[in-house]
Homo-oligomer: A and B are copies of this chain.
Amino acid sequence: MNQDFDAYLHNHRAEHLDELTTLLRFPSISTLSEHAVDVVRCAEHLAELARTIGFENIQLLQTARHPVLYADWLHAEGKPTVLVYGHYDVQPVDPLHLWETPPFEPTIRDGKIYARGASDDKGQVFMHLKSFEALMKTTGSLPVNVKLCIEGEEEIGSPNLPSVLNDHKDLFAADVLVISDTTILGPNRPSVCYGLRGLAALQVDLYGAKGDLHSGLYGGSIQNPLHAMVELLASLHDKSGVIQVKGFYDDVEAISQEEQDAFAKLAPDDAKLADSLGLPELFGEAGYTTLERQWVRPTLELNGVYGGFQGEGTKTVIPNSAHAKITCRLVPNQDPVDIQRKIQQHLKDNAPLGIRVEVTLQDTGKPYVTPFDHPTIQLASKAYAKAYGTAAAFTRMGGSIPIVEAFAGVLDIPVVLMGFGLDTENFHAPNEHFTLDNFDKGLRALCYYWLGLEEALQSGQAAKSE
């Protein structure tokens, strides 16, 4: 096996970090329409990076909102084809004042690169490109055929990717899908993720009087939309954290004893975790461990609640509206649309008097689990082990990559989640960063993966035909 890539990566590290810095400067926030131009510019920049490596057939597939970058290199005749998925869009950056350095001015300190998207997911997308570059520069070709699918709507629930995939099934056809948008267990504790939670999002808007009213003149005689909102939202959980929406847990798959035991071995120290997060204690659904709550139990979280006066001092007002944003994390076999409807029904059934309730159903993503003994998953474990010098664990993850389930549905190929993030890297929060040790080792793990894929798939087929 050719390992010249190692020296190549070593010799070009400074140059690669400069290029990563350039990529992280694009404020490609997909949810905010004022950044639509930045999102496109970021896609165009990635396309140019792919072209210089040797990718061909480069296309920005247009959607109703942000484009999908497609590119391929298909000269490994008779070898497997790998499809690489990632996303170049990022989350909003508020509250801005909490960033130690500006979110779109990447800064390296203490072996970490700080910027929005550093870890989720531009840094990891960039590693894929550079792993291919390293093999191409050192061997003149790639050991497998490669297709890239890098989208710009992952942080808003990938609304258009399913139709892009459906419209271009042949273009995206491949033997395996590899995604790097997840975390490993900890520094030098690599892990292969074989399951993700799904997503169901809703917005709740309560409306009272035609306009804001004086709380002295009207206070006590009309329903305050904020009172109605806290009463309504409080009804969604009991005090021990159990979700009270009728039927919410109906389709939840029970956890096997085998999984429970495996999780117990990986279990974090709750007190240490709480301390590292700055919390007095952890809290969650009664009867489950922290890892179970994060990986295999569904959630209903308020992501935003707002209404009325938020300025300095006091304002004696009864606001005429109140708003809340909700997302659920779902587990097999919950159906996101079914869950949205059950929550909508709960909100209507529990609506307080004297206000009007509006519920808007938003993003959805199905949960996904893949067998951990699949050869593409086992190869990932070996690739990590070579690069990190330590065995990789098999984990599940609390987050959602809705598109994983969409890919699995449309393309019917195994999905390998080979992430390099750490859960301390502040994804979606101020001071997001990416650890350069994982950047370095991850680049090598990816190279080992591409180099081993043909053999792994052959042995998998051999095992099947035995």
> Chain A contact residues: over half helix, strand or loop, or mixed?
loop
Q: Does A219 lie at the interface of the complex (its beta carbon under 8 Å from any beta carbon of B)?
A: yes
List the B side residues contacting A311 at CB < 8 Å. 31-32, 92, 94
Contacts known (A220-B329, A221-B284, A426-B211); A239 close to B302, Cβ less than 8 A: no
CB distance from A61 to the nearest CB of B (A): 21
What total of chain A residues lie within 8 Å of the partner, measured CB to CB?
100
Closest residue of B by beta carbon distance from A212: B429
Interface string of A407-431 (1 = CB under 8 A from B): 0000000000000000100111111
Say yes or no: B227 contacts A230, CB within 8 Å.
no
A407–B318 Cα distance when bound, in Å, is 28
Say yes or no: B316 contacts A327, CB within 8 Å.
yes
Q: Give 11 A-B contacts (CB < 8 Å), ordered by A residue.
A: A94-B311, A156-B314, A208-B279, A209-B279, A210-B277, A212-B430, A214-B423, A239-B352, A303-B315, A304-B319, A305-B305
Q: Does A378 lie at the interface of the complex (its beta carbon under 8 Å from any beta carbon of B)?
A: no
Say yes or no: B92 contacts A353, CB within 8 Å.
no
Say yes or no: A220 contacts B308, CB within 8 Å.
no
A71–B210 Cα distance when bound, in Å, is 41
Say yes or no: B219 contacts A294, CB within 8 Å.
yes
A426–B213 Cα distance when bound, in Å, is 7
A31–B215 Cα distance when bound, in Å, is 17
A233–B316 Cα distance when bound, in Å, is 17
Q: A214-B423, A219-B327, A226-B303 are in contact. List 6 more A-B contacts (CB 8 A).
A: A91-B317, A213-B277, A221-B293, A222-B274, A280-B354, A317-B428
Spell out A's residues near B (CB within 8 Å): 31-33, 91-92, 94-95, 98, 156-157, 183, 197, 199, 201, 203, 208-224, 226-227, 229-231, 233-234, 237, 239, 241, 274, 277-285, 290, 293-294, 297-299, 301-319, 322-323, 325, 327, 329, 352-356, 362-363, 397-400, 423, 426-431
Say yes or no: A304 contacts B307, CB within 8 Å.
yes
List the B side residues contacting A308 at CB < 8 Å. 302-306, 325
- Of the listed residues A274, A302, A308, A398, the one surrounded by the most CB atoms of chain B closer than 10 A to its CB is A302
- Of the listed residues A32, A208, A216, A284, the one surrounded by the most CB atoms of chain B closer than 10 A to its CB is A216
Say yes or no: B220 contacts A294, CB within 8 Å.
yes
Say yes or no: A33 contacts B312, CB within 8 Å.
yes
